[in-house]
Amino acid sequence: MMYKYNDVRINIVEGDITEMDVDVIVNAANNTLLGGGGVDGAIHRAGGPIILEQCKKIGGCPTGEARITTAGNMPSKYVIHTVGPIYSSENKNKEKLLYNAYYNSLELAKEYNLRTIAFPSISTGVYGYPKEEACEIATNAVLDFLDKEDGLDEVYFVLFSKKDYLIYEDELNSKLG
Ligand code: APR
């Protein structure tokens, strides 16, 4: 499904983010940046050891912030590693942290003059964030960024299941439909 907002194309796709041929894909990492399971594991496997080498030099990433590396063997040029909040964690500002993970990833993409970016559904796997709540925060962060900044041509939300795809389709239909 494709939408337009402030002349930027917003696409929802069901698939594997490591296969996206865009300027940058976003990784749902953890604070160590040393890899893990889920999309983090898939990105390191598909991109190759160069990504971990660069992550080790970066030395970690606070929750809600973003760091950039090469995408190695993947079709995209870069990976932006961001860390979403763990839903069950006691910190009350988990909504703001998830919003920041998306917003700071977009700011870093702009800093590198990247024009096409693909996001997974950050924090909704191992980190347990309810998908509908996370989707609302993710789309708010992206639309707020597109209200304030230019420089992007295309934003993809890459969902790993039909169920997740439909959550995003409902949300963007209600916001942009
Ligand atoms: N492409 C796109 N989306 C994917 C892929 C993939 N190849 N693999 C998994 N996903 C989806 C999951 O289905 C989920 O909806 O990414 C979303 C995020 O799930 P996780 O990867 O578990 O990420 P998160 O919930 O943010 O937890 C991060 O998990 O893998 C570890 O090292 C990571 O500690 C960190 C934690």
The pLDDT of residue 98: 98
The pLDDT of residue 134: 98
pTM score? 0.98
Tokens linked to 19: 């296969």
Distance 143 CA to ligand 1 centre (A): 22
| Ligand 1 atom, smallest distance to 129 CA | 25
Residue 153 is a catalytic residue: no
| Ligand 1 atom, smallest distance to 28 CA | 26
Residue 84 backbone dihedrals phi, psi, to 5 degrees: -85, 165
Distance 81 CA to ligand 1 centre (A): 12
Distance 82 CA to ligand 1 centre (A): 11
The pLDDT of residue 12: 98
- Residues in contact with ligand 1 by the CB-under-6-Å rule are 16-18, 28-30, 36-42, 84, 120-127, 158, 160, 164
| Ligand 1 atom, smallest distance to 35 CA | 32
Please enumerate in sequence order all residues whose Cβ is within 8 A of that of 140, keeping only pairs 6 or more positions apart, or say none.
99
Distance 162 CA to ligand 1 centre (A): 15
Atom 21, ligand 1: which residue's CA is nearest?
38
Question: What kind of fold does domain 2-176 have according to CATH?
Answer: Leucine Aminopeptidase, subunit E; domain 1 (3.40.220)
The catalytically annotated residue of 7, 40, 144, 164 is: 40
Per-residue pLDDT of the chain (177 residues; tens, 9 = 90+): 999 999 999 999 999 999 999 999 999 999 999 999 999 999 999 999 999 999 999 999 999 999 999 999 999 999 999 999 999 987 789 999 999 999 999 999 999 999 999 999 999 999 999 999 999 999 999 999 999 999 999 999 999 999 999 999 999 999 998
